[in-house]
Amino acid sequence: MPAHVDYPPGEFIQALGRRPLSEEEWDGLLKRVETYTPAHWRPLLKLLLVLMGEVGITLKEALGLWREDLNGGVLRVRGTRLREVPLPPLARETLEDWLPQRDFLASHRPLPYPQLLLNPSKRSRVNP
């Protein structure tokens, strides 16, 4: 894009009505995750929300994470550029809850499964 073009235009984002969630809305969203059916999706859904809402990575970046990208309190994120992102306490807690389930599910695969986020459903893949 030429240097004089604002991409995306500022008015575009405002027209979509996209705004940060308030603390009350964010807390309400995280509480609603606990009632999501089917229950086996709850840990993964909560982790996705926290990675995008608290850590600030995109869905594409979250889906591209590998288990080895987690190094203590730092997450290595591959996007348009490789970067290391410090994890806030809520993200650390959510990851600590997810990792035992993730490792258990990954252990049932015939080959090592490097992705951090796994599909816990009985289906082998999700159709786009």
Q: Which domains does the chain have, with CATH numbers?
A: 10-106 (1.10.443.10)
The per-residue pLDDT for range 53-94, each reduced to its tens digit, is: 889 898 889 988 999 999 989 999 987 888 999 999 999 999
Residue 66 phi/psi, 5-degree rounding, is -110, 160
Nearest to 119 by CA among 15, 58, 56, 45: 45
Q: How is the chain split among helix, strand and coil, in percent rounded to 5?
A: 50, 10, 40
pTM of the model: 0.73
The SS3 of residue 27 is helix
The per-residue pLDDT for range 2-39, each reduced to its tens digit, is: 455 444 445 544 544 556 778 888 888 889 888 887 78
